[in-house]
Amino acid sequence: MRGRRRAFMLASGSVSTLLTMAITRRDASARLDEGEATGRSRRGSTSVEANSRLTGSTAAVLFVLLAAEGFTIVRVRALLSPHVFIGMLLVPPVVLKIGSTSYRFARYYLGSPAYRRKGPPPTVLRLLGPFVVVLTLILFGSGIALLLVRPSHRPPLLLLHKASFVLWFGAMAIHVLGHLVDTARLAPRDWMRRTRRDVTGAGLRQWALVSSVAVGALLGWLLLGQVGPWRASSPSHVSSALHRRVHAPTSTTNGSPSSSTSSSAPASVTTNPLGVASHVKLPSFPIGHGSEGSTTTLPVQARPARVHHHVRKKSKH
C-alpha cells in the first residue's frame, strides 16, 4: 500500500509539474507575442508620425515659396526671371510632398493598422487631393514646356498654363486652409531640439527637404538661360521692337535727328538766263517703305519757273 501511495504521489507530482511548465511556456509565448505586437504597433505609430512630420515641414516650405511666386505673377513680364527661378525651385519640394502624401494614401488603403488608426483626412480634403495633384502636374509641366518648345507651339501651352492656374488656385486655397492647423503643429517638430528626438529619422527627413530645395535652386539657375531667348521670340517683344524701329529717328550727317518722313525736300541747283545760280526746293512725296521700315521719298521734277519769262521780257525792253 505504501508503495502504491508513493507511486501515485510521484505520478501526480509529475503531472502537476508538466502542467505548470506548459502554463509557464504558454504565458511566456503570450507575453512574447504581445511584446512583438506592441513593438510593431510602436513602429507603425513611429512611421505615421515620421510621415506626418515630413509632410508638414515640406508644406511649410512650399507655402513660403508659393507666396513668393504669387508676388511675381502681379508683374510677370517685368519679373519673368524670378518667376522662372522660383517656379523651378518649387518642383523638387512639390515632388517630395506628393511622394509623402501618396505613401500615406497607399498605406491606408492597403490596410496598415497604424495608418488605419490614424484615419483618413476629412472627406472634402480626401476627394480634393487627387485634383490638386493633377492640376499641380499640369501647371508646372506646361510652365516648363513653355520655355523649351518652339514659339509656334506656345499659344496653346500658354492657354493651358493660365487655365490650370485658375483651377489650381481655387483647389489649393481649400487644401491649404484645411491643413493649416496640422501644418503649423507638425512643421517645426523635426527642427526643434525638444521634439526632434521623439521620432527617429529626423536628420534623414531634414536632409531630404534641404536637398530638394538645393536641387530646385540648381534647376532654376539652369533654366534662367532660356528666359532671354523666350523674350526675344515672344510676339509682343517682336512687335514692340518693330514699332520702335519704325518710329525711331534717323541721324543726318551733321548728327541732328531727322524723321524718315521729313518735310524738308531735296534741293536742286538751277541756273537762270542771267547766269545767276539759284536753289530751287523740290517737293517730295512718299512711295513706300524701305528695308529698314523707313519711308522712301521721291523728288518731283521742278516745273520751269515763270520768272524766266519775265526776265526775258525785261531784257528785250
Question: Quick check: 6 pLDDT over 60?
Answer: no
For range 99-116, the mean pLDDT: 92
* Secondary structure of the chain as H, E, C letters: CHHHHHHHHHHHHHHHHHHHHHHHHHHHHHHHHHHHHHHHHHHHHHHHHHHHHHHHHHHHHHHHHHHHHHHHHCCCCCCHHHHHHHHHHHHHHHHHHHHHHHHHHHHHHCCCHHHHHHCCCCHHHHHHHHHHHHHHHHHHHHHHHHHHCCHHHHHHHHHHHHHHHHHHHHHHHHHHHHHHHHHHHHCCCCCCCCCCCCCCCHHHHHHHHHHHHHHHHHHHHHHHHHHHHHHHHCHHHHHHHHHHHHHCCEECCCCCEECCCCCCCCEEEEECCCCCEEEEECCEEEEEECCCCCEEEEECCCCCCCHHHHHHHHHHC
pLDDT in tens, 36-64: 445 455 666 788 999 999 999 999 999 99
Question: Quick check: 222 pLDDT over 70?
Answer: yes
Residue 157 is predicted with a pLDDT of: 93
Residue 289 is predicted with a pLDDT of: 47
pLDDT in tens, 232-273: 876 654 444 444 555 555 544 444 444 444 444 444 444 444
Residue 294 is predicted with a pLDDT of: 47
The model's pTM: 0.64
Residue 230 is predicted with a pLDDT of: 81
Q: For residue 10, what pLDDT band results from cuts at 50, 70 and 90?
A: low
Question: Quick check: 2 pLDDT over 70?
Answer: no
Residue 67 is predicted with a pLDDT of: 95
Q: For residue 121, what pLDDT band results from cuts at 50, 70 and 90?
A: confident
pLDDT in tens, 270-295: 444 444 444 444 444 444 444 444 44
